[in-house]
Structure 1
Amino acid sequence: MVARFLTLKLTLMGNTFRKSVWQTIGLILASLYALGIVGSLVVAVAAISFFEDPALAGLAVTLGGAVTVLGWWLIPIFAFGVDATLDPHRFTTFAIPRRTLVAGLAVAGLISVPGIATVLLALGTAFAWVVEPGVLLVALVGAVLGVATCVIGSRAITTTLAPVLESRRYREVVAIVAVVLAVLIGPLIGWLTNGVEISVGPAEDGNAFLAMVQQAAAVVGWTPFGAAWALAGAAHDGDWLGLVGRLAVALGTIGLAWLVWDRALGRALVRPPMGDGGGGRAKGLGAFGLVRFSPTWGVAARTATYWLRDPRYSGSIAVVPLLPVVIYFATQSTGNYFMLLATGPFVAWLLGFSISNDIGYDYTAFALHVAAGVDGRADRWGRTVPMLLVGPVVAALTVVATVWVADSWHLLLPLLGLALGLLLVSTGVSSAVSARLVYPVAKPGESPLKSPQGAAVATMVSQGVGFAVTLGLSVPVLALGIAAVLLGGVLWGVATLVGGLLYGVLMLVLGVRFGARVYDRRLPELLQQVQSFP
Structure 2
Amino acid sequence: MVAHILKLKLLLLANGFKRSTGQLIGVIIGGLYALGMIVMLTLAAWFLAGETAIDAELSILIGSLAVLGWAIIPPLLTGVDLTLEPSRFVHFGIPQKVLGPALVLSGFISVPAILTIIGLVGGSLIWRLEPLVLPVAVVAAIATAVMAVLVCQYLTIMATALRAKRRFRELTFAVLFLLLICLGPIISSIASAANSLLDWVGPIASVLAYTPLGAAAALPGALAQGDYLQFAICLILAVAYLGGLYWLVNRATAQATVTPPPQQRAAKQSGLGFFKYTPGTPTGAVIARALTYWLKDPRYAIGVLMVPVLPLLFWFTGSQSGNYTMMYLLGPLIGVLLGFSISADISYDNTAFALHVLTGVSGRADRAGRALACFALSIIPVLAAAILPGAIAGEAWRIPGDLGLSLAALLVALGVASVASARYTYAVPLPGDNPMKTPPGNGLRVAVTQLATIGTMAILLIPVFIPYLMGWFQESQPLGLLTLGIGLVLGVGLLFGGIALGGKWYEQRTPELMQAVMLNK
Displacement after TM superposition at 1:35 (Å): 2.3
Look up the equivalent residue of 1:44 and give its one-letter code. Answer: A
Aligned match of 2:227: 239
Task: Mark the CA change 1:209 to 1:100 in structure 2 (over 3 Å): closer, same or farther.
Answer: same
- Contact kept, 8 Å, 2:303 with 2:337, in 1: the verdict is no
Q: Distance in 1 between matches of 2:179 and 2:365?
A: 37
Q: Deviations over 1:473-516 (max 9, x none)?
A: 22222222111111112211111111111112222233333323
Counterparts of 1:399 and 1:252, CA distance in 2: 58
Residue 74 of structure 1 deviates from its aligned partner by: 1.4
CA displacement 1:161-193 (0-9 Å, x = unmatched): 333232223223332333233333333333444
Identity level (%): 38
Q: Distance in 1 between matches of 2:177 and 2:58?
A: 28
Alignment of 1:63-142 (within 5 A): 63-81=61-79, 83-142=81-140
The CA distance in 2 between the partners of 1:355 and 1:63, in whole Å, is 43
Structure-2 residue corresponding to 1:11: 11
The CA distance in 2 between the partners of 1:83 and 1:315, in whole Å, is: 25
1:259 paired residue number: 247
Aligned AA (1:108): S
Matched residue SS, 1:133: coil
Structure 1 residues 271-420: aligned runs within 5 Å: 271-280=259-268, 282-420=269-407
Say which is worse superposed, 405-414 or 438-447, in terms of deviation. 405-414
Report the residue type matching 2:219 in the other structure.
L
Q: 1:184 aligns with which of 177, 182, 185?
A: 182
SS at match of 2:265: coil
TM-score by length of 2: 0.93
Cα displacement (A) at 1:124: 1.8
Equivalent residue number for residue 506 of structure 1: 493
Residue by residue, what CA displacement relative to the aligned partner does 1:199-223 show, whole Å, maximum 9, x if unpaired?
x4xxxxxxx5544333333332232
Q: Is the 8 A contact 2:49 2:125 kept in 1?
A: no
CA distance in 2, matches of 1:86, 1:297: 45
- Mapped to 2, the partners of 1:479 and 1:45 lie a distance apart of 52
- Aligned residue for 2:418? 431
Q: When the two structures are aligned, how many residues end up with a matched partner? A: 521
| Change over 3 Å in CA distance of 1:169–1:57 after alignment to 2 | same
CA contact (8 A) 1:355 1:431 kept: yes
Q: CA deviation at 1:468?
A: 1.8
Give the corresponding residue for 1:49: 49
1:265 aligned partner, one-letter code? T
1:47-90 Cα offsets, whole Å, 9 max, x none, are: 3237x34x545543321221221111112343155731111111
| Residue type of the alignment partner of 1:444 | P
Contact in 2 for aligned 1:81/1:446 (Cα 8 Å): no
Report the TM-score when normalising by structure 1. Answer: 0.91
Indicate how the Cα distance of structure 1 residues 358 and 90 shifts in structure 2: closer, same or farther if over 3 A, else same.
same
Partner of 2:60: 62
- For the residue of structure 1 that corresponds to 2:233, the secondary structure is helix
Distance 2:38 2:445 in 1: 25
**Greater CA deviation, 413-422 or 178-187?**
178-187
Matches within 5 A, 1:402-481: 402-481=389-468
Contact 2:49/2:129, CA 8 A, preserved across alignment: no
Shift of 1:366: 1.7
| Residue number among 172, 188, 200 corresponding to 1:212 in the alignment | 200
Letter matched to residue 262 of structure 1: N
Describe the shift of the 1:120–1:331 C-alpha distance in structure 2 as closer, same or farther (beyond 3 A). Answer: same
**Alpha-carbon displacement from aligned partner over 1:342-382 (angstroms, at most 9, x marks no partner):** 22221111111111211111112122222223333222222
Q: In the superposition, relative to structure 1, how do residues 347 and 432 fare at CA in structure 2: closer, same or farther (>3 Å)? A: same
Secondary structure at 2:133's aligned position in 1?
Answer: helix
Which amino acid in 2 is paired with 1:268? A
Distance 1:19 1:504, change over 3 A: same
Gaps of 5+ in 2: none
Assess, with a 3 A threshold, how the Cα gap between structure 1 residues 41 and 439 changes in structure 2: closer, same or farther.
farther
Instruction: Choose 355-364 or 269-278, whichever is displaced more.
Output: 269-278
Amino acid at match of 1:171: R
